[in-house]
Structure 1
Amino acid sequence: MGSGAAPEASSIKWKYDIFLSFRGEDTRNGFTSHLHKALESRGYDVFMDEDDLQVGQVIKPELLQAIGKSKISVIVFSKRYADSSWCLNELVKIMECGRTLNQIVLPIFYNVDPSDFRHQKGTLESDFQKHTIRHKDEVVKEWKDALTEAADLCAGVLKDR
């Protein structure tokens, strides 16, 4: 991912190896926490919001900075990911970093269909109907475009058995 105008990934000073983007209530105490533990046990420096934010800090700027300082972003798309404007704002930043910093972006679709994210159908359709009422059209379009872009990347699809 990235264009010819983006800086060489080897010239960037990364603070984190991996940034994990996820909907907390969907996967924090299950899949994402296991993924986080497995990555750290293999020596990766992983940013996960509950680990690296200090009490009293403003959350949004810290998260956005961490995204820009991570070599890889792993997005765990789950059932309620697109219901969260917070997650969608993270996603926009992640996709921007993929284009401008040559950051590696790895989507994982956890118990969801990638085509629902690509086309904002299924439960995402009702999520975006709500977003359209609450947010400006330009913001909603930016979120939809980021979802489509992320869903078009080579991804992992995981389903519970």
Structure 2
Amino acid sequence: MEEWKASLENLKNPIAHWQMFLSFRGKDTRDSFTGFLYQALRQGGFKTFLDNEGLQTGEQIASSLKDAIETSRLSIVVLSENYANSAWCLDELVKIFECAELKNQLVWPIFYKVDPSDIRHLRKNYGKAMAHHEKILGVHSEKVQKWKSALLKVSDLSGKHYKTGYEYEFIQKIVEDAKHIENRLQIELEDHRRCQAN
């Protein structure tokens, strides 16, 4: 629980439409870890945004994803081996940190079979991915610099680490932590209402 460094203030977004936004690399974890995490969060009572969940026919996906991030209480970022290969994922990550800074939203990183130091120092697949982006967009591209900054920020956050073991136990712990935070928030909000009523 402590490793999330969760603040109740981050969850007090009165205009939140979604409780959680899941950012992930589809090819890596859509049909495995992230798919199972999504189902567990939904079963746990959390309104969770995944890909095109909740999109209306004809909507622009990029715009809808940005709206979903802006109207979420917190974002769970599943950092897998090929996360940085996707410009889409990196754009999401930049938007997530914009909302974290401007709207005090919470960011929960999950380091899924990756080492945070490899993300921080752009090594292994993360280094290869960024070199590819730099080749296409230019080393000094503003977009590339924003992506690097977002990766540095997320790698510096205290998060959950998964390498081996039973995924369902790991996922259950995430859901339990989320419920604990929501329960604390509910108690605090009820205390606040009672104080206002007196």
Alpha-carbon distance, 1:16 to partner: 0.5
What percent identity do the matched residue pairs reach?
42
- The code of the aligned residue for 1:156 comes to K
Gaps of 5+ in 1: 1-6
Gaps of 5+ in 2: 1-8, 166-198
**Alpha-carbon spacing, 1:11–1:45, altered in 2? closer, same or farther (3 Å):** closer
* Distance of 2:155 and 2:75 partners within structure 1: 14
What aligned pairs does 1:73-112 form with structure 2 within 5 A after superposition?
73-112=75-114
Q: Which moved more, 1:41-50 or 1:14-23?
A: 41-50
Q: 1:54 is matched with which residue: 53, 56, 65?
A: 56
* Structure 2 residue aligned with 1:3: none
* Distance of 2:109 and 2:30 partners within structure 1: 16
Work out the number of aligned pairs and report it: 156
TM-score, scaled to structure 2: 0.74
After the TM superposition, list the runs of 4 or more consecutive aligned residues in structure 1 that deviate by more than 4 angstroms: none
* Distance of 1:112 and 1:145 partners within structure 2: 18
- Maintained 8 Å contact 1:14/1:71: yes
- Maintained 8 Å contact 2:78/2:111: yes
SS in 1 for 2:143: helix
- Which is richer in helix? 2
* Distance of 1:128 and 1:90 partners within structure 2: 16
- Maintained 8 Å contact 1:20/1:48: yes
SS in 1 for 2:81: coil
Q: 2:121 is matched with which residue: 119, 122, 136?
A: 119
What aligned pairs does 1:111-150 form with structure 2 within 5 A after superposition?
111-136=113-138, 137-150=141-154
Alpha-carbon distance, 1:8 to partner: 7.5
CA root-mean-square deviation: 1.8
- Maintained 8 Å contact 1:9/1:101: no
Deviations 1:54-78 (A, max 9, x none): 3432110100110000001000000
- The code of the aligned residue for 2:154 comes to A
TM-score, scaled to structure 1: 0.91
Deviations 1:75-103 (A, max 9, x none): 00001100000000000000111111010
Alpha-carbon distance, 1:48 to partner: 0.5
- The code of the aligned residue for 1:141 comes to Q
- The code of the aligned residue for 1:149 comes to K
* Distance of 2:13 and 2:114 partners within structure 1: 36
